[in-house]
Amino acid sequence: MVMTERTRKKTRPAATRPRRKPAARTVVDNSLQQLQAEIDQKVVQLTESNRQLKRKIFDLYTIFEISRNFNAVLKFQTLLDSFIFTCLGQVGASRGAVFLRRDATTDKLHLVMAKGSGSIPAENIGIDPQSRLLTYLAGLNRPVPVGDLISDACTPEELTILGDFQSGLAVPLIYQTRLIGLLLLADKISGRQYTMDDIEFLSILANQIAVAIENARLYEGEKMAAMQLRNLQEQLLQSERLAALGEMSAKIAHEVNNPLGIIKNYLLLVRRTAEEKPEAIKHVAVVEQEIDRIAGIVRQLLDVHRPRPPIFSRVNLTLVIGEVLALMERPLSSNSIEVRTVFAENLPDVLGEPDNLKQVFLNLVINARDAMPDGGSLTIATTFDEDWVRTTLCDTGPGISPEIQPRIFDPFFTTKEPGQGTGLGLSVCYGIIKYHNGSISFRNTEQGGCFEILLPTVKKGVERDAGN
Q: What share of the chain has pLDDT > 90, as a percent?
A: 17
Domain coordinates in residue numbering, the chain: 69-222, 308-468
The confidence score (pLDDT) of residue 392 equals 95
Question: What does the pLDDT look like over 245-269, one tens digit per residue?
Answer: 666 666 677 677 777 778 877 777 7
Domains 69-222 and 308-468 equal at CATH topology level? no
Question: What does the pLDDT look like over 348-393, one tens digit per residue?
Answer: 999 898 888 988 998 899 889 988 988 999 999 999 988 899 999 9
CA distance 310 to 89: 61
Question: What does the pLDDT look like over 417-427, one tens digit per residue?
Answer: 554 555 667 87
Question: What does the pLDDT look like over 155-199, one tens digit per residue?
Answer: 888 888 888 888 899 999 998 888 888 999 999 998 899 988 888
CA distance 252 to 359: 22
Residue spans of beta strands (DSSP E) within 24-145: 95-100, 110-116, 144-145
Domain 308-468 maps to which CATH number in 1.10.10.10, 3.30.565.10, 3.40.190.290, 3.10.100.10? 3.30.565.10
The confidence score (pLDDT) of residue 449 equals 92
Q: What is the mean pLDDT of residues 298-303?
A: 66
Per-residue pLDDT band for 2 (boundaries 50, 70, 90) equals: very low
DSSP characters over 201-227 = HHHHHHHHHHHHHHHHHHHHHHHHHHH
The closest of 344, 463, 450, 352 to 395, measured between CA atoms, is: 450
CA distance 410 to 430: 9
The yes-or-no verdict on residue 343 having pLDDT over 80 is yes
Angle at 171 between CA 165 and CA 174, to 5 degrees: 150
pTM: 0.44
Beta strand 388-395 pairing with 313-315: unpaired
Report the chain's mean pLDDT, rounded to a whole number.
79
Classify domain 69-222 by CATH number: 3.30.450.40
Q: Are 124 and 160 in contact (CB under 8 A)?
A: no
For 79, list phi and psi in degrees, rounded to 5.
Answer: -65, -50
Dihedral-angle region of residue 376 (phi above 0 means left; psi in -120 to 50 means alpha; beta otherwise): left
Residue spans of beta strands (DSSP E) within 370-448: 376-384, 388-395, 439-444
Longest dimension (CA), the chain: 192
Burial of 19 by CB count in 10 Å (0-12 exposed, 13-18 middle, 19+ buried)?
exposed
Per-residue pLDDT band for 307 (boundaries 50, 70, 90) equals: very low
CA distance 321 to 82: 46
